[in-house]
């Protein structure tokens, strides 16, 4: 992994004619062919589309044209994000043969910036999971720690970057699904604020939570990919008109004097002692960088998982009603229309998706709506208020990304509640709609990666990236 | 619930989910420790002034000739229609 490509090294090499975009794509497809059988990070490759794009970049180089920000950069896209003409399964059997008739805006913007889309990455079915073991197409191996899960749900996207099978990737985050796999695979991974990146073409799981964001080899690359995708899109009414900062330029600003809040609620029982040790060392490093670290309180943290599993499952049960066996995807034949729905959905969805649809239907049902869904929305408001209060006193909040290091494949699959609790530190920021990043923060016994999570206030992406960049530059990955 | 969600589940699935969902609901019950009588539910993530759609957009006609592509994805199409089992009895 020593000579791993980054966005800046790709740009330099292509501009200096040291490698062509096509050669770079070939190099990546060769590595994918060699390693994907073992890792299972990619579900579908889009070679034709990648080479067509690479040739366009190479023609631009030959013509002496100015190259766009991501010219020739090989990127992998999570399989819940639509790609025109390229199979998109959501990790589900119900979409086994689905080929979207249009591109997600995030993909359109990446390609317009010169990126080369290599293919679609494995994930938990409909992004529901924390280990990638809920994919209908088999689990993904964690390239950073053999035998452990890569995290989820964007496990394939994290593994592809960590194994050098892409320079950057797109994931989606609903309760931690970008940040936690980033932490488990030892790479930086970010979700911007709710509304920052258009979700047009993202196949919906929980609409008030879902976000698209980048995973990459370093924070500068995360910033560059986020910048390309961010901004208002007329096709997504939830995308914001708030101005997009120049994240790459903002990166280098000093962090000295920045006020960092550390909430004690994120260091409670159930936290692995190895993780605690690394995060403590990471916070010490921030102090050495001149940040002012202070203890803060976020009293509703402990209620976040319960709130999340009401809201996310409720929205999922509504969103997944569209899989009806009639319009696209799997269609099981039956005598009546209702029987078609039932049979198709029973055969096409996997166990975790079914569990969440049933739970979501329950919390929305007449008689239980107030007790669960309305209650959840109220506690969500309290959790968001915790963050607003904290950001009156501090510039950023620092926590562990996950209470535990990567666990072994198969270790947690029989106990859904235990699996849900692995998201305890990430769901809070999801519920509050805030930007968050996970950056590598050492490895336990030199083997298991730990992630440090940084939250910023709404649309404070630049500050989050600055701090993450300073942490990385100061050697955060080896604390 | 599976009926409401139009989801065929086997007896074994029903039994597993019954136990697991009971356990999850019991965990969710911890929210009742919080008094939320005076809390407004958070139904929106973005503030109104953060989106362009707080007001109505202009109604502009754009071409959208994708019907053929879309029908190609249907399990049983009969262009220009989706075909379904008979729903209305004469």
Tell me if chain A has a CB within 8 Å of the CB of B88: no
- Residue A82 annotated among the catalytic residues of the structure: no
pLDDT for A2 equals: 40
Tell me if chain B has a CB within 8 Å of the CB of A414: no
In chain B, residues with a C-beta closer than 8 Å to the C-beta of A83 are none
Alpha-carbon span A281 to A306, nearest angstrom: 30
Tell me if chain B has a CB within 8 Å of the CB of A194: yes
**CA angle in degrees (0–180, nearest 5) for A333-A99-A311:** 80
Tell me if chain A has a CB within 8 Å of the CB of B42: yes
In chain A, residues with a C-beta closer than 8 Å to the C-beta of B40 are 378, 381
Burial class (CB in 10 A: 0-12, 13-18, 19+), A270: exposed
Tell me if chain A has a CB within 8 Å of the CB of B73: yes
* Count of C-beta atoms within a 10 Å radius of residue A8: 14
In chain A, residues with a C-beta closer than 8 Å to the C-beta of B32 are 375
Identify whether the C-beta of residue A315 lies closer than 8 Å to the C-beta of residue A360: yes
Instruction: Give which of A72, A59, A91, A176 is closest to A453, Cα–Cα.
Output: A176
Per-residue pLDDT of chain A in tens (479 residues, 90 and over written 9): 346 999 999 999 999 999 999 999 999 999 999 999 999 999 999 999 999 999 999 999 999 999 999 999 999 999 999 999 999 999 999 999 999 999 999 999 999 999 999 999 999 999 999 999 999 999 999 999 999 999 999 999 999 999 999 999 999 999 999 999 999 999 999 999 999 999 999 999 999 999 999 999 999 999 999 999 999 999 998 999 899 999 999 999 999 999 999 999 999 888 999 999 999 999 999 999 999 999 999 999 999 999 999 999 999 999 999 999 999 999 999 999 999 999 999 999 999 999 999 999 999 998 999 999 999 999 999 999 999 999 999 999 999 999 999 999 999 998 888 889 889 999 999 999 999 999 999 999 999 999 999 999 999 999 999 999 999 999 999 99
Q: Is the ipTM of this complex over 0.95?
A: no
Alpha-carbon span A210 to A242, nearest angstrom: 18
Question: Any residues with CB less than 8 A from the CB of A359 and at least 6 apart, and which?
Answer: A309, A313, A317, B21, B24, B25
Alpha-carbon span A147 to A121, nearest angstrom: 19
**In the numeric block, which tokens belong to residue B13?**
């699935």
- Residue A317 annotated among the catalytic residues of the structure: no
**In the numeric block, which tokens belong to residue A479?**
């604390």
Q: Which residue has the tokens 């911007």?
A: A192
**In the numeric block, which tokens belong to residue A255?**
């962090």
Alpha-carbon span A149 to A155, nearest angstrom: 8
Residue A452 pairs in a beta bridge with A400, A439
pLDDT for A220 equals: 98
Largest CA distance in chain B: 56
Q: What is the DSSP-derived secondary structure letter of residue B65?
A: -
Identify whether the C-beta of residue A131 lies closer than 8 Å to the C-beta of residue A123: no
Q: What is the DSSP string of A400-456?
A: ES-SS-PPBTTSSTT-HHHHHHTTTTTHHHHHHT--EEEEEEEEETTTEEEEEEEE-
Question: Phi and psi for A247 in degrees, rounded to 5?
Answer: -60, -40
Cβ of B66 within 8 Å of Cβ of A102? The answer is yes
Does residue B54 carry a pLDDT above 60? Answer: no
Question: Any residues with CB less than 8 A from the CB of A457 and at least 6 apart, and which?
Answer: A387, A391, A434, A463
Alpha-carbon span A39 to A142, nearest angstrom: 7
Q: What is the DSSP string of A141-200?
A: --TTSTTB---SSSHHHHHHHHTTS-SEEEEEESSSTTHHHHHHHTS-EEE--TTSB--T
CA A239 to chain centre: 18
- Residue A153 annotated among the catalytic residues of the structure: yes
Alpha-carbon span A324 to A473, nearest angstrom: 50
pTM: 0.97
Tell me if chain A has a CB within 8 Å of the CB of B65: no
Cβ of B57 within 8 Å of Cβ of A343? The answer is no
Cβ of B85 within 8 Å of Cβ of A334? The answer is yes
The residue length of chain A stands at: 479
Cβ of B34 within 8 Å of Cβ of A325? The answer is no
Alpha-carbon span A158 to A150, nearest angstrom: 7
Question: Any residues with CB less than 8 A from the CB of A341 and at least 6 apart, and which?
Answer: A324, A325, B6
Residue of A94, A95, A101 to mutate, interface with B, max B Cβ within 10 Å: A101
pLDDT for B50 equals: 72
Cβ of B5 within 8 Å of Cβ of A357? The answer is yes
In chain A, residues with a C-beta closer than 8 Å to the C-beta of B43 are 377
Alpha-carbon span A428 to A131, nearest angstrom: 19
Cβ of B8 within 8 Å of Cβ of A328? The answer is no
A346-366 b/e (C-beta count within 10 Å ≥ 16 → b): bebbbebbbbbbbbbbbbbbe
- Cα A403 to Cα A223, A278, A414, A418, B6, distances in angstroms: 26, 11, 19, 12, 37
Tell me if chain A has a CB within 8 Å of the CB of B67: no
- At A260 the three-state DSSP class reads strand
In chain B, residues with a C-beta closer than 8 Å to the C-beta of A102 are 66
């Amino acid at each position: 992994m020593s000579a791993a490509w980054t966005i800046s090294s790709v740009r330099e090499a292509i501009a200096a004619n040291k490698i062509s975009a096509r050669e770079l794509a070939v190099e990546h497809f060769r590595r994918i062919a060699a390693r994907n059988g073992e890792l299972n990070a990619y579900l579908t490759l889009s070679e034709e589309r990648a080479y067509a794009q690479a040739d366009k970049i190479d023609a631009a180089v030959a013509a002496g044209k100015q190259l766009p920000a991501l010219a020739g950069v090989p990127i992998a896209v999570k399989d819940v994000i639509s790609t025109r003409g390229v199979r998109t399964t959501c990790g589900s059997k119900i979409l086994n043969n689905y080929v979207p008739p249009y591109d997600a805006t995030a993909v359109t913007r990446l390609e317009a910036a010169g990126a080369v889309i290599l293919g679609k990455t494995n994930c938990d079915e409909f992004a529901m999971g924390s280990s990638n073991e809920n994919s209908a197409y088999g689990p993904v191996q964690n390239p950073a720690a053999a035998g452990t899960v890569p995290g989820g749900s964007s496990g394939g996207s994290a593994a592809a970057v960590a194994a050098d099978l892409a320079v950057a990737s797109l994931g989606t985050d609903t309760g931690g699904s970008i940040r936690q796999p980033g932490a488990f695979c030892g790479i930086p991974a970010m979700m911007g604020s709710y509304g920052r990146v258009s979700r047009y073409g993202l196949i919906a799981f929980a609409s008030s939570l879902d976000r698209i964001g980048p995973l990459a080899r370093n924070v500068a690359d995360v910033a560059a990919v986020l910048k390309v995708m961010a901004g208002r899109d007329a096709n997504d009414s939830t995308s914001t008109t708030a101005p997009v900062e120049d994240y790459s330029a903002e990166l280098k600003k000093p962090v000295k004097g920045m006020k960092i809040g550390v909430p004690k609620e994120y260091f409670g029982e159930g936290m692995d002692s190895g993780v605690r040790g690394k995060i403590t060392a990471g916070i010490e490093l921030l102090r050495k960088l001149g940040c002012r670290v202070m203890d803060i309180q976020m009293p509703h943290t402990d209620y976040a998982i319960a709130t999340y599993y009401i809201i996310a499952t409720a929205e999922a049960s509504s969103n997944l009603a569209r899989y009806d066996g009639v319009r696209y995807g799997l269609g099981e034949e039956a005598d009546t229309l209702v029987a078609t729905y039932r049979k198709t959905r029973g055969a096409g969805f996997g166990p975790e998706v079914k569990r969440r649809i049933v739970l979501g239907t329950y919390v929305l049902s007449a008689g239980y709506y107030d007790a669960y869904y309305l209650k959840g929305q109220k506690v969500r408001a309290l959790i968001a208020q915790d963050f607003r209060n904290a950001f009156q006193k501090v510039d950023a909040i620092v926590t562990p990304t996950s209470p535990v290091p990567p666990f072994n494949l198969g270790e947690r699959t029989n106990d859904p509640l235990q699996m849900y609790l692995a998201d305890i530190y990430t769901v809070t920021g999801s519920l509050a709609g805030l930007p968050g990043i996970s950056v590598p923060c050492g490895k336990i016994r030199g083997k298991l990666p730990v992630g440090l999570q940084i939250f910023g206030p709404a649309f404070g992406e630049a500050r989050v990236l600055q701090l993450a960049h300073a942490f990385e530059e100061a050697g955060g990955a080896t604390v | 619930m599976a009926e409401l969600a139009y989801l065929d589940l086997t007896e074994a699935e029903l039994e597993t989910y019954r136990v697991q969902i009971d356990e999850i609901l019991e965990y969710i019950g911890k929210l009742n420790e919080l008094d939320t009588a005076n809390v407004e539910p958070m139904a929106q993530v973005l503030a109104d002034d953060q989106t362009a759609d707080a007001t109505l957009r202009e109604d502009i006609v754009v071409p959208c000739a994708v019907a053929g592509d879309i029908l190609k994805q249907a399990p049983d199409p009969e262009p220009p229609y989706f075909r379904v089992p008979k729903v209305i009895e004469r």
